[in-house]
Structure formats: structure tokens, C-alpha cells
């Protein structure tokens, strides 16, 4: 299996990410969020318009490819002392194949490259829904640890109950 990470740059790629988000979120979050909350969050965070807005604000989306096929995606936002991992989603048929580990390794590589200007980055931070035990286990296996709990009103009458997790970057 060949794994590649490709920056999202075109309208076609943005639409592919939106379609992948719809597939993954409806499949994965059905036992965590109501259908109404899933639809609200997809529109707010993963619609074509939302993706374009986020990218204009400095978020960097990447397609995760397995043997040339879209297996998932991730979204990063460089901060002053950390990279915020805003999204890391793997399609169901590609889970448990080490793709999350490879995606995190890609982030470590970004933090090691002088020419990208990320060498000041010392850690990766993310949010994960406290009811999402599968993702929490994956992140803990990858070296992340819980920093704190945070409840966040996302609008529409919905609240996300998250753990904030971190991990130090590993220089590659």
C-alpha cells in the first residue's frame, strides 16, 4: 500500500473533501450525534463554502491517498507554538491500516522542515468529542494525552463536549 499526502488546492479537490466528509460523518458519527447535529456540523464546517473560507483563514487541507485513492483527509492550522489538527478523518474501509499514524508522521515531518517555516512548532493539539472512544484510543496510541475537557457551543442549539489532546512533535 502506497500512502501519499496531497495538499488540497483546486475546486475539484475541495468538492472531493466535502463528499468524503458527508460519507465519513454520516457513517461514523451516527452513534455520537443526532442526524440534525451531523447535518448542521457538515454545513458549518465541511461544506464547499466552509472549506474555502477556512482555507482563506490559513487552514491547510490535505487529501490522504492510499494507492492513489482518497482514503481520508486532514486539516491543519499552524499556530504560534503548535499545529492545531482540526480534522483527521479516514474512510471506514481504510481504517486500521496505519493511515492515522502516517498522517501524524507527515505532521512531524512538516515541523522538521526548515523551508516551510514550521520548525518552531513543538506540539500537535486537537479536539476530540469525549464520547468518541475509538478516536481517543487511536490518538492515545499515537502518543497524545488529554490536557483538559472543554464544552463548546457551536451554534444551532448544539454543544460539543471535547477533550483537548496534545502530543510533542517528533523531529524527523
Bigger pLDDT: 79 or 133?
133
**Residue 103 clears pLDDT 80, i.e. is over it:** yes
Q: Which residue has the cell 491543519?
A: 76
- Model-level pTM? 0.91
- Number of folded domains in the chain? 1
Domain housing 118: 3-168
H-assigned helices in the chain: 11-28, 35-41, 48-56, 99-112, 133-141
Question: Tell me, what CATH number does 47's domain have?
Answer: 3.40.630.30
**Residue 129 clears pLDDT 90, i.e. is over it:** yes
Cell matching residue 109: 515531518
Amino acid at each position: 500500500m502506497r500512502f501519499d499526502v496531497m495538499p488540497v488546492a483546486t475546486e475539484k479537490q475541495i468538492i472531493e473533501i466535502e463528499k468524503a466528509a458527508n460519507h465519513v460523518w454520516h457513517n461514523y458519527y451516527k452513534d455520537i450525534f443526532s442526524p440534525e447535529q451531523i447535518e448542521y456540523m457538515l454545513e458549518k464546517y465541511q461544506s464547499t463554502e466552509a472549506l474555502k473560507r477556512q482555507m482563506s483563514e490559513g487552514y491547510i487541507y490535505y487529501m490522504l491517498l492510499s494507492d492513489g485513492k482518497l482514503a481520508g483527509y486532514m486539516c491543519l492550522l499552524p499556530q504560534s507554538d503548535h499545529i492545531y489538527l482540526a480534522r483527521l478523518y479516514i474512510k471506514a474501509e481504510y481504517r486500521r491500516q496505519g493511515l492515522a499514524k502516517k498522517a501524524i508522521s507527515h505532521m512531524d515531518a512538516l515541523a522538521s522542515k526548515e523551508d516551510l517555516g514550521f520548525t518552531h512548532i513543538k506540539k500537535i493539539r486537537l479536539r476530540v468529542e469525549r464520547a468518541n472512544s475509538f478516536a481517543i484510543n487511536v490518538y492515545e496510541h499515537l502518543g497524545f494525552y488529554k490536557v483538559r475537557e472543554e464544552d463548546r457551543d457551536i451554534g444551532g442549539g448544539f454543544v460539543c463536549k471535547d477533550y483537548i489532546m496534545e502530543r510533542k512533535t517528533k523531529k524527523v
